[in-house]
Amino acid sequence: MPIDNGSMLHHDESGGGQPVVLLHGFPLTLEMWRHQIEALSATHHVIAPDLAGFGGSGPASDPVSMESYARDVAELLDSLDVLRQVALVGFSMGGYVALAFLGLFPERVGALALIDTKATADGPAAKAGRADAAAHVLEQGSSFIAEAMIGKLLSPGSLADRPNLVSELVASMSAQPPRSVAQALGAMAVRADTTPLLAAVGVPTVVVGGAEDVIVTPEEMGTMASAIPGAEYVEIPGAGHLTPMEAPDAVSEALARWLNRMTD
Ligand code: MLT
């Protein structure tokens, strides 16, 4: 069950053994991991925070960056006495945070899973789009971003066949504080290109992506995977961007195989 503990990040902690940390995407919460939390906590100590400003976590202090989110996660691990290496899983914006965490605390990462994410930074058009979206969110509320994103988060098949998932996601995204959404948009726009880190990744790595992801294309994910020594690339047919919710079993199975590699 999620617990709340002062200024520490709100999080879900379950299971025991080797720690696995799940970092959610934008503008989502740890709820996106519910299937993986259930599957992986049978064998592992699973920790899933709400990043600062999202879900049940308190607001982030400016300036917000992928590094500030990563430092919050490190503080959470310290406060939970998780001092051994973690298997770090990042989805989309959570992947940007995972790569920032790897840059800041390489000694704390024993395995890396990058899901529907990329190492490259935003170009000028993407940066301008983020600034525009942030202004609209601050004026109109977070339903603006929910409406803008829902059609890109899921594959056409999921959009047509899973109305409950669509309405759950729209409600959740609309409920995130506009200031937090705007802060995250600004932080993503200025995030560093972490491509130079990839060749030096020395831990078991899996890259998982939806075959129909239009936010991070399979081509971008394949390119990232091939830049990481020994990384496995798993492409999930029929899934869009939000693979952990659209294809929960396939994602959990890919993660379970990757976790086995960590102990081989
Ligand atoms: C996410 O799913 O976290 C975002 O789409 C990432 C992004 O906008 O770059």
| 244 Cβ inside 6 Å of ligand 1 | no
How much distance in Å is there from the Cα of 43 to the middle of ligand 1? 29
How much distance in Å is there from the Cα of 239 to the middle of ligand 1? 16
| 93 Cβ inside 6 Å of ligand 1 | yes
Which mutation among 137, 176, 215, 221 tests ligand 1's pocket best, with the greatest number of atoms within 8 A of CB? 215
Q: By CB neighbour count within 10 A (0-12 exposed, 13-18 middle, 19+ buried), where does 173 fall? A: buried
| 207 Cβ inside 6 Å of ligand 1 | no
Which mutation among 97, 114, 130, 188 tests ligand 1's pocket best, with the greatest number of atoms within 8 A of CB? 188
Q: How many CA atoms lie within 13 A of 245 on its CB side?
A: 23
Which ligand 1 atom is the nearest neighbour of the CA of 185? 8
Q: Are strands 11-14 and 2-3 parallel, antiparallel or unpaired?
A: antiparallel
pLDDT per position as a tens digit, 52-104: 999 999 999 999 999 999 999 999 999 999 999 999 999 999 999 999 999 99
What value does the CA radius of gyration of the chain take, rounded to a whole number of Å?
17
How much distance in Å is there from the Cα of 117 to the middle of ligand 1? 8
How much distance in Å is there from the Cα of 174 to the middle of ligand 1? 15
| 215 Cβ inside 6 Å of ligand 1 | yes
Dihedral Cα 9, 14, 20, 26, nearest 10 deg: -50
Residue among 215, 92, 94 at smallest CA distance from 151:
215
Residuewise pLDDT in 10s, the chain (264 residues): 444 444 689 999 999 999 999 999 999 999 999 999 999 999 999 999 999 999 999 999 999 999 999 999 999 999 999 999 999 999 999 999 999 999 999 999 999 999 999 999 999 999 999 999 999 999 999 999 999 999 999 999 999 999 999 999 999 999 999 999 999 999 999 999 999 999 999 999 999 999 999 999 999 999 999 999 999 999 999 999 999 999 999 999 999 999 998 776
Q: Which DSSP state fits 8?
A: S
- Cα–Cα distance measured from residue 223 to residue 216, given in angstroms and rounded to the nearest whole number: 11
| 188 Cβ inside 6 Å of ligand 1 | yes
* Residue located via tokens 């939970």: 80
Biggest alpha carbon distance in the chain? Answer: 52
Closest CA to ligand 1's atom 4:
26
* Residue located via tokens 């195989």: 257
